[in-house]
């Protein structure tokens, strides 16, 4: 019985460590915009409100404002509605172009949660 408790404790600790290492670091948009080279290619998480969005055939881009700044997010799935509160994780890219527009620094979405307002 005692070894079963130890095994359960070790399993719980290892699972927790695995989950923590898999999560992207949450940051602010102002930090990304201030030093985009530091974040280039890294996965980060941000939370904010959608201020603008454009979508075509399931692809698109939407702009998020987290209160510290704004950044465009490129997605391969539908875009959230303006005014939605979203949590996004993705990789930071520089010099992104879509639909004939240059977006500078963007976040390439790898996951999203949203809440309609």
Helix/strand/coil for 54: strand
Residue 70: per-residue pLDDT? 95
- Residue 76 domain-assigned (yes or no): yes
- Residue 110 domain-assigned (yes or no): yes
Residue 90: per-residue pLDDT? 94
Cα–Cα distance list, 14 to 3, 17, 19, 22 (Å): 16, 5, 9, 12
Residue 16: per-residue pLDDT? 45
- Residue 11 domain-assigned (yes or no): no
- Residue 10 domain-assigned (yes or no): no
Residue 9: per-residue pLDDT? 53
Domain that includes residue 93, residue range: 25-115
Give residue 4's Cα distance to chain centre: 39
Q: How many domains does the chain have?
A: 1
Residue 26: per-residue pLDDT? 80
Cα–Cα distance list, 2 to 6, 62, 108 (Å): 7, 54, 48
Residue 109: per-residue pLDDT? 92
| Mean pLDDT split into 10-residue runs, the chain, 117 residues | 59 47 72 90 93 85 94 91 93 76 81 74
- Residue 4 domain-assigned (yes or no): no
Residue 31: per-residue pLDDT? 93
Q: Across the strands, what pairs with 74?
A: 61, 108
- Residue 12 domain-assigned (yes or no): no
- Residue 103 domain-assigned (yes or no): yes
Residue 36: per-residue pLDDT? 87
- Residue 3 domain-assigned (yes or no): no
Residue 115, exposed/middle/buried by CB under 10 A (0-12, 13-18, 19+)? exposed
Q: Residue 111 belongs to a domain with what CATH number?
A: 2.40.50.140
């Amino acid at each position: 019985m005692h070894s079963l408790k130890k095994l359960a404790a070790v399993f719980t600790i290892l699972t927790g460590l695995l989950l923590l290492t898999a999560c992207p670091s949450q940051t602010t948009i102002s930090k990304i915009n201030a030093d985009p080279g530091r974040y280039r290619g890294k996965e980060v998480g941000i939370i904010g409100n959608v201020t603008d969005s454009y979508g075509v055939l399931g692809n698109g881009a939407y702009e998020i404002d987290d209160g510290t700044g704004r950044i465009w997010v490129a997605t391969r799935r539908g875009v959230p509605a303006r005014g939605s509160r979203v949590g996004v994780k993705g990789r930071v890219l520089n010099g992104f172009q879509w639909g004939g527009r240059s977006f500078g620094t963007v976040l390439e979405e790898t996951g999203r949660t949203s809440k309609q307002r």
